[in-house]
């Protein structure tokens, strides 16, 4: 009998074919086979989760690595990546797709991409990168970044970026999407329109709902749909918060426009009426919206042809601090109340995000796929500390991450190195 690197047993293994009682055999970082729960398998390491679920690791498509300046002034780029990586592991995120800004340098050229890649070297979880759309890179720059390993591109129509990645105007949006259609990469877009935001307020409270109205998202989405229709490129709105815009996406798809949406658990879980505007949960850009809007967002996620297909933390300073460790639990808390299951959770947080970014070996527990795995107790109830600095402070959540494996190796916060690690070629393992 061959001896595998790792055997993980669970009575609730979440696979693309359903939730099964199974034993997952891992060799050389990949899932070698999925057998029945009591199968006679031998591994150098073994874990029996019992009733705890085994999920595919989360693929978070929109993570910013810049911490709040008041908490970590002067932090190096490496320190920012390290903090995000440790937070990700606490939340069952095994792959982070990092936005090109607000961390500096903004990822708009090869030199900046290399700086970020070097800063993230050796980290667990996996880190992939989104390229920024700037006025200087719509053509050759996009192609060069894509060839160098950028998995997708990102832009903002307002203030979602940084001083060195300003708002994208209509000519820039169209030029970028023409090139993205050629290179086959999707564009993730923060769609709040700068003109609508300027007309809505005087900037006294940049996160207030009145100064960031739903019509700003609607106007920006109209611009994105027009550019996508003309170019044939794929667009994905992130974050999608104004549920009234779902009708625009639904109407565009029969016309051949490839447009989808991504949202965050705090928009699905927290109505604005229950969150004080001066709390961590009241700082989002876009802001939390009404309870009625929250219900409509769920409809956009659960429809027969869902407008929202991916859900992730929205981790960045503007959303009230660290959301990576709590996103999976928060989403499960809301999902289970609606009678939804673990397969839904895995589809929104793993399978469909991996598909969006073209990460073919990730997002599902299947033979041949990467062994990025999460032990998750769906029945555990716990309270988020009041001083957590997150949108969920003081709230009771259901579901908790117990253990995480990345490439078949158990990953903990303590194992995340502070300094970059030089990668060494491993000897070729014996075949099983």
pLDDT tens per residue, range 156-169: 999 755 666 889 99
Take residue 286 and report the two structure tokens written for it: 């876009």
From the list 78, 162, 75, 84, the residue with the least C-alpha distance to 321 is: 84
Say how far apart CA 410 and CA 82 lie, in whole Å: 17
Q: What is the mean pLDDT of residues 196-204?
A: 72
Average per-residue pLDDT for the chain: 89
Q: What angle do CA 283, 286, 291 make, to 5 degrees?
A: 90
Task: Report whether pLDDT(192) > 70.
Answer: yes
Q: Which one has a higher pLDDT value, 317 or 135?
A: 135
pLDDT at 70: 43
pLDDT at 323: 85
What SS3 state is found at 98? strand
Say how far apart CA 119 and CA 98 lie, in whole Å: 12
Question: Model confidence at 191, in pLDDT bands (50, 70, 90)?
Answer: very high
Say how far apart CA 379 and CA 363 lie, in whole Å: 23
pLDDT at 1: 63
Q: What is the mean pLDDT of residues 191-196?
A: 93
Task: Report whether pLDDT(235) > 50.
Answer: yes
Take residue 45 and report the two structure tokens written for it: 């390491």
pLDDT at 388: 80
pLDDT tens sequence across 99-110: 998 888 899 999
Lowest average pLDDT, out of 47-51, 112-116, 140-144, goes to 140-144
pLDDT tens sequence across 257-288: 999 999 999 999 987 777 666 665 556 778 88
What whole-number percentage of the chain has pLDDT above 90? Answer: 72
Residues 5, 46 contacting (CB under 8 angstroms): no
Say how far apart CA 398 and CA 323 lie, in whole Å: 16
Beta-carbon contacts of residue 328 (< 8 Å; ≥ 6 apart): 58, 91, 92, 93, 345, 349, 374, 376, 399, 401
| Residue ranges of domains in the chain, CATH in brackets | 3-55+369-412 (2.30.40.10), 57-357 (3.20.20.140)
Lowest average pLDDT, out of 133-142, 172-181, 409-418, goes to 133-142
Task: Report whether pLDDT(430) > 70.
Answer: no
pLDDT at 348: 98
pLDDT at 273: 73
Take residue 391 and report the two structure tokens written for it: 């949108």
pLDDT tens sequence across 72-99: 667 789 998 998 999 999 999 999 999 9
Distances (CA, A) of 417 to 88, 180, 414: 14, 35, 8
pLDDT tens sequence across 136-150: 555 668 999 999 999
Question: Model confidence at 206, in pLDDT bands (50, 70, 90)?
Answer: low
Q: What angle do CA 40, 41, 47 make, to 5 degrees?
A: 115
Distances (CA, A) of 143 to 152, 185, 227, 241, 317: 11, 10, 19, 31, 30
pTM of the model: 0.92
pLDDT at 203: 46
Task: Report whether pLDDT(66) > 60.
Answer: yes
pLDDT at 136: 57
Task: Report whether pLDDT(423) > 50.
Answer: no
Question: Model confidence at 319, in pLDDT bands (50, 70, 90)?
Answer: very low
Take residue 256 and report the two structure tokens written for it: 């051949």
What whole-number percentage of the chain has pLDDT above 70? Answer: 85
pLDDT at 204: 44
Lowest average pLDDT, out of 44-53, 227-236, 310-319, goes to 310-319
């Amino acid at each position: 009998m061959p001896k595998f690197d790792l055997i993980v047993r669970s009575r609730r293994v979440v696979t693309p074919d359903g939730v099964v009682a199974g034993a997952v055999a891992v060799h050389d970082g990949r899932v070698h086979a999925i057998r029945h729960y009591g199968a006679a398998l031998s591994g150098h390491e073994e874990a029996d989760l019992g009733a705890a679920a085994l999920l595919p690791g989360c693929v978070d498509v929109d993570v910013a690595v810049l911490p709040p300046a008041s908490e970590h002034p002067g932090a190096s780029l490496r320190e920012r990546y390290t903090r995000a990586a440790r937070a990700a592991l606490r939340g069952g995120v095994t792959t982070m797709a990092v936005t090109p800004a607000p961390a500096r340098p903004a990822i708009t050229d090869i030199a900046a991409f290399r700086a970020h890649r070097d800063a993230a070297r050796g980290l667990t979880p996996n880190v992939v990168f989104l390229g920024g759309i700037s006025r200087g890179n719509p053509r050759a720059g996009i192609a060069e970044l894509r060839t160098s390993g950028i998995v997708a591109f990102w832009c903002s129509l307002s203030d979602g970026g940084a001083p060195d990645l300003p708002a994208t105007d209509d000519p820039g949006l169209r030029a970028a999407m023409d090139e993205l259609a050629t290179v086959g990469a999707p564009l993730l877009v923060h769609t709040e329109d700068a003109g609508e935001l300027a007309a809505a307020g005087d900037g006294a409270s940049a996160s207030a709902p009145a100064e960031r109205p739903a019509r700003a998202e609607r106007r920006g989405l109209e611009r994105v749909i027009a550019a996508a229709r003309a170019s044939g490129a794929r667009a994905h709105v992130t974050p999608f918060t104004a549920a009234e815009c779902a009708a625009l996406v639904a109407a565009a798809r029969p016309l051949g426009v490839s447009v989808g949406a991504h949202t965050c658990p705090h928009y699905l879980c927290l109505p604005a009426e229950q969150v004080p505007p001066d709390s961590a949960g009241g700082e989002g850009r876009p802001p939390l919206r009404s309870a009625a809007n929250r219900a409509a967002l769920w409809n956009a996620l659960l429809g027969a042809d869902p407008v929202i297909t991916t859900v992730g933390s929205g981790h960045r300073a503007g959303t009230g601090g660290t959301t990576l460790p709590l996103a999976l639990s928060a989403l499960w808390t809301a999902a289970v109340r609606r009678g939804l299951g673990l397969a839904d959770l895995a589809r929104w947080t793993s399978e469909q995000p991996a598909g969006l970014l073209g990460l073919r070996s990730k997002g599902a527990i299947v033979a041949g796929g990467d062994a990025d795995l999460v032990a998750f107790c769906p029945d555990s109830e716990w309270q988020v500390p009041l001083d957590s600095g997150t949108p969920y402070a003081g709230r009771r959540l259901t579901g908790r991450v117990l253990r995480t494996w990345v490439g078949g190796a158990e990953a903990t916060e303590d194992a995340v190195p502070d300094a970059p690690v030089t990668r060494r070629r491993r000897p070729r393992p014996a075949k099983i």
